Amino acid sequence: MASASKSFSSPVEPAKPPAQLRKPARTEVIAIGISTGGPDALRVVFSQIDADLKVPILVVQHMPAGFTNEFAKSLDRICPLDVKEAEDGDSVLPGRILIAQGNKHLEVERKGLNYSVRLSDNPLVSGHRPSADVLFASVAMNYQNHALGVIMTGMGRDGAQHLGTIYKEGGMTLGQDEASAVVYGMPRVAYELGHVMEQVSLQKMARRICDVAKTPR
């Protein structure tokens, strides 16, 4: 993949990408970190996602406690896949999208060949709970080169560091581009750190996620 779109312009050139421990393999999970501007952006992505996508999706959207259940239900109404607010112990299943609860970290736990999610009240990471960095680190540890990490519109730098961990473990990474991001903070930092393999516009994000996830490797 190209390291960045040729049409993209940034005052800062990205750092040299980290060395990958192994080559990317078949995508078995998609992890998305998103914040300011995220609800509308996720509505665009999930309304356009392929109905036959068989890869589970885990999402950290910065949102207060008490709002994520209704938000997940609103996404479920427009998405061809099943969308629900994550509950502790939920299975990570093909065709299922789990949205992190407000004020709860979301991590993956592996037992044999099966994966489930764990919620926790652990301290804030990168200023947030849930934190995209926590999700990305957990996904990188459990899925290694079978993960696709996506960082989208949002203020600050949450997710930028451990998107790089997904990259190092051999996973694939995408970042939303500056032109389509409400706040080009989180994806900018990830890009400048060299952790983004490819920058993608919001309108093309669903298509690119599906293409990457479905590509045999």
Catalytic residues: 35, 62, 158
Q: Which two tokens stand for residue 68?
A: 């994520």
List the structure tokens of 87.
């509950």
Phi then psi dihedrals of residue 31, to 5 deg: -120, 130
For residue 131, count other CB atoms closer than 10 A to its CB: 25
Alpha helices (H) along the chain? 38-48, 68-78, 132-143, 160-168, 186-192, 202-214
Reading the block at residue 110, the tokens are: 């592996």
Identify whether 130 is preceded by a cis peptide bond (ω within 30 of 0). Answer: yes
Residues 6 or more apart from 5 whose CB is under 8 A from it? 177, 198, 199, 200
d(CA 213, CA 217): 10
Pairing verdict, β 114-120 and 105-111: antiparallel
Per DSSP, 141 falls in state H
For helices 160-168 and 132-143, give the axis angle rounded to 10 degrees. Answer: 10
Tell the residue number behind the tokens 């914040």, with chain if given: 35
